[in-house]
Amino acid sequence: MEMPIYLDHNATTPVDGRVLEKMLPYFCEVYGNASSIDHLHGNKAKQAVDAARQTIAKALGCRKESEIVFTSGATEANNLALIGAFRKFRDKGNHIISTAIEHPAVLDTLAYLRGEGAEITLLPVDSFGVVDLEELEKAIKKETILISVMFANNEIGTIQPIKEIGRIAKAKGILFHTDAAQAVGHEKINVYEMNIDLLSFSAHKFYGPKGIGGLFVRSYAPLIKLAPISFGGGHEKGMRSGTLNVPGIVGMAEALSLANKEMTTENKRLKEAAELICKRLQQAFPEIKLNGHPQLRLAHNLSLTIPGVEAKALIHKLKNKLSFSAGSACSTVKVEPSHVLKAIGLSDDETFQTIRLGLGRATQHPERIADVLIEGIKQLRSN
Ligand SMILES: Cc1ncc(COP(=O)(O)O)c(C=O)c1O
């Protein structure tokens, strides 16, 4: 059977063939432990890790490569950023500000920190999913030690005013963390220019392998050292113990280099494709609504509410032709309405009538994709 067209690139992306090629020698040939620097096998692995760290640091605008802490992905990076910062700086205050539309890797970690004595304020967002900067300023108090606002939302694609949020945090001496899992490799990022102190990312969101990611931890103005959340050999400057995933790290660096190099052309292509799909669908069904900000959004994401059509039913109907998700693929185990769609003002019914299309490098013929969707919607509506 021919595989359906993959349209879930916000959930994950395939490993780029060029990335895989770079990774392969690090499984069976250069297999040393990057911490075993007394011998050549370990040294070779360490050299590869050092080079990859340098590439990633440069791509994100870091001052030093040591500002990159490798983790298993954005979930762990978010846990380390939030729990590590809270435990390290709780003597300065216990208040953390975040938003109602964060990924569960942030929201659930914050809920956990409540149990450790943290006070959490979750800011609302407007109907486009954007945080109000005045609300943010109002929420700050003398106990505030950390602001955590995601770079781009995984369900509706809205991009936040990151630089301005960072400026507000900096002016008050508060740390600023951003979950950039959906933005790294898709949007231009410079952590210093954008006043970011901590930034989480995951390689599989930008055509790298799964199970590898990282956290940028600023080392200058201010120098940040987080409390570890796991314990062991003291790797990654004591912030994240555990043998380094050398093939994953090498692959992530290559994936990020390629994504950054191809970003401008690829974003233009995907924006046009997404616009075409949206326009064609709305021509057929004018009541279809695009969620998220019309301009400040990820080029490859489309969140669409189709009144009268259950997202799950449409996914099922088209499962041999298209692979896409309802709301967020990250929470398919839950049957509750999406907290993100609720936060931008959708009713429970509308949240269940919302699909997410995540376009990507292999996406071609957007008009055909739109036509398949139109046909599926027509069939469901005629039932
Ligand atoms: C915004 C955001 N944060 C965090 C994550 C978690 O990433 P990972 O599952 O790679 O740890 C995801 C992935 O779904 C995401 O979209």
Expressed in angstroms and rounded, the spacing between residue 145 Cα and the centre of ligand 1 is 24
Scanning 68-121, the segments in alpha helix (DSSP H) are 74-89, 104-114
The Cα-based distances of 50 to 35, 182, 228, 347 in angstroms read 11, 25, 22, 49
The partner residues of 190 in beta bridges, in order of sequence, read none
DSSP secondary structure, 109-149, as one string: HHHHHHTTT-EEEEE-B-TTSPBPHHHHHHH--TTEEEEE-
Q: Which CATH entry fits the domain spanning 17-257: 3.40.640.10, 1.10.10.10, 3.40.50.300, 3.40.50.2300?
A: 3.40.640.10
Does ligand 1 come within 6 angstroms of the Cβ of 154? yes
Pocket perturbation via mutation, ligand 1, pick of 75, 80, 338 by most ligand atoms within 8 A of CB: 75
From 229, 239, 81, 222, select the one nearest 149 (Cα to Cα): 81
Q: Radius of gyration of the chain from Cα atoms?
A: 21
Fold of 5-12+262-382: Aspartate Aminotransferase, domain 1 (3.90.1150)
Q: 167-198 b/e with 16+ CB inside 10 Å = b?
A: ebbbeeebbbbbbbbbbbbbbebebbebbbbb
**How many angstroms separate the CA atoms of 96 and 174, rounded?**
10
SS3 (DSSP) at 369: helix
Expressed in angstroms and rounded, the spacing between residue 12 Cα and the centre of ligand 1 is 9
Contact 78, 106 (CB under 8 A): yes
Start-end of CATH 3.90.1150.10 domains in the chain: 5-12+262-382
**How many angstroms separate the CA atoms of 41 and 383, rounded?**
64
The one-digit pLDDT tens for each residue of the chain (383 residues) are 799 999 999 999 999 999 999 999 999 999 999 999 999 999 999 999 999 999 999 999 999 999 999 999 999 999 999 999 999 999 999 999 999 999 999 999 999 999 999 999 999 999 999 999 999 999 999 999 999 999 999 999 999 999 999 999 999 999 999 999 999 999 999 999 999 999 999 999 999 999 999 999 999 999 999 999 999 999 999 999 999 999 999 999 999 999 999 999 999 999 999 999 999 999 999 999 999 999 999 999 999 999 999 999 999 999 999 999 997 444 555 578 999 999 999 999 999 999 999 999 999 999 999 999 999 999 999 87
Contact 198, 175 (CB under 8 A): yes
Does ligand 1 come within 6 angstroms of the Cβ of 148? no
Whether 62 is a known active-site residue: answer no
Does ligand 1 come within 6 angstroms of the Cβ of 202? yes
> Is there a cis peptide before residue 222, judged by omega within 30 degrees of 0?
yes
Tokens of 368: 């055909």
